[in-house]
Amino acid sequence: MDATLLDAEAEAAVLRVYRQVFAVLAREAGAMIVDPDLLDVDQAILDAFAESGSDGLTVEQATLACRAYPHDLIVRRFDVLRQYGAITKLVDRPNELRHRAAFAPYVMLMFLRRMSVQGGQAELHQLLTLEAHSVSDPGATEDDGLASTQRLTKVFRLLGNELAILVSTSTTAQLRENAQLAWGNERLIEQAEKVHRIVLERWPTLHRACTSLRMALAAYADAVQLAAGRLVERAGTTRALGLLPIETWLTFTRSSEPDVLAGVLDGLLFDAAAPDFSPQTMVEAVETGRRTGTARMAPPRPTEDVVAPESAAATDREELRAEAERVLAGRPSVDVVEVVDQAGDWITARRVLAELTAAHLHDELDYELVWSDGMRIDPNAGTPWATEGVFRRVTR
């Protein structure tokens, strides 16, 4: 047994599709397919029947024809095939020993093998062409159109769902393996849109079914874009390498004969395996090595602007002091009513009062604003109502 992993993988792919289709039948027949060899057994049995001509075969003749496989295995598969009708008695009577094979299971087997190799894309293309034919047929009825549209909707929903689930849950390697779902999608979508157009033009009443087909197509296109996005993101900036996962290259190198490997490397020049020290890694290494030292570096200082600009607080303080001195005008104290009247209207007076209050509250300025109980009321003044008070210098 020198089966490589790649072979096993191909077999697993065949088996996966086969199992999906026949799981129900096989379970009922009491024989699940658990080994890809069983597929070959089935094929061998059916091949033997094809060779046998119109006389049919008995079980013994079939096992003899398939002697490459174990006897009991052939008998078991023969039973299974008989139970689900792939092999029937030549004439339906109790003691009939000769059997004949139906052609449909063999066609199915070929179809499955092809699908597992090509991922069903070619079949889907053919299906779409057939659907386009059938809906443009002059004899087609509205029901045909509806059935056709619904079939396509289901196909694309399943396709889109599968891809979307792959994108969101699987690893990149898995996604790459199943990327065949994404190949050639534009042609698929185009073909489906063609069917959709024909249906909608012939039977405008089917617009609801057509809407769901359009939605399914859009969902599929989105899923394809997501998947392509994830693959491209992972493939690196310059090399997609045909989207082959690195594991495939590794498997190839491990499983190939020296001659095959040498053939690949023929005409390629490369360096012997050696550790690489790029200048960037050297700089990083020196930087990290330097950090363990005890000598501490001075923190960076600004080189320009040696004179620090005055802080905003200091500027504010000086502005307040200037305003207070302007109001006091050299006197030790001043009446608030006088200040308000001098300001003229209330808008200006309000601003002056705000500044005096700020000067009073500022803990670095020696001014205070003391309010008293009286109130001046003068309808002719700019500010008719003014509370009496005094703004004055204090000494600390």
Where do contacts with another protein occur on this chain (CB under 8 A)?
236-239, 241, 246, 265-266, 269-286, 288-290, 292-295
Q: Smaller CB distance to another protein: residue 266 or 363?
A: 266
Question: Which residue in 66, 26, 67 sits closest to 46, CA to CA?
Answer: 66
d(CA 318, CA 46): 105
Q: Smaller CB distance to another protein: residue 58 or 172?
A: 172
**Residue 317 token pair:** 């303080």
Q: Smaller CB distance to another protein: residue 27 or 290?
A: 290
Q: Smaller CB distance to another protein: residue 253 or 315?
A: 253
Question: Which residue in 334, 339, 337, 332 sits closest to 394, CA to CA?
Answer: 332
The alpha carbons of the chain give a radius of gyration, in whole angstroms, of 45
Q: Smaller CB distance to another protein: residue 169 or 238?
A: 238
Nearest distance, CB of residue 239 and another protein, angstroms: 7
Nearest distance, CB of residue 290 and another protein, angstroms: 6
d(CA 162, CA 220): 9
Q: Smaller CB distance to another protein: residue 194 or 234?
A: 234
Nearest distance, CB of residue 212 and another protein, angstroms: 41
Nearest distance, CB of residue 274 and another protein, angstroms: 4
Nearest distance, CB of residue 229 and another protein, angstroms: 18
Q: Smaller CB distance to another protein: residue 148 or 248?
A: 248
CB distance 148 to 212 below 8 Å: no
CB distance 176 to 240 below 8 Å: no
Nearest distance, CB of residue 280 and another protein, angstroms: 7
d(CA 317, CA 358): 9
CB atoms within 10 A of CB 195: 26
Place of tokens 């960076």: 300
What stretches of the chain show up as alpha helix (H) in DSSP? 5-29, 36-52, 59-65, 71-83, 103-118, 121-136, 142-169, 172-177, 185-202, 207-234, 246-255, 258-265, 279-291, 312-328, 336-343, 346-361
d(CA 346, CA 348): 5
What's the distance, CA 360 to chain centroid?
A: 64
Nearest distance, CB of residue 223 and another protein, angstroms: 25
**Residue 297 token pair:** 């570096």
Q: Smaller CB distance to another protein: residue 95 or 238?
A: 238
d(CA 349, CA 231): 71
Q: Smaller CB distance to another protein: residue 68 or 295?
A: 295
d(CA 29, CA 247): 39
Nearest distance, CB of residue 12 and another protein, angstroms: 24
Q: Smaller CB distance to another protein: residue 288 or 303?
A: 288
Nearest distance, CB of residue 264 and another protein, angstroms: 13
Question: Which residue in 37, 20, 66 sits closest to 162, CA to CA?
Answer: 20
Nearest distance, CB of residue 114 and another protein, angstroms: 33
Nearest distance, CB of residue 111 and another protein, angstroms: 37
CB burial class (10 A; 0-12, 13-18, 19+) of residue 330?
Answer: exposed
Element (H, E) at 371: strand 367-377
Q: Smaller CB distance to another protein: residue 94 or 293?
A: 293
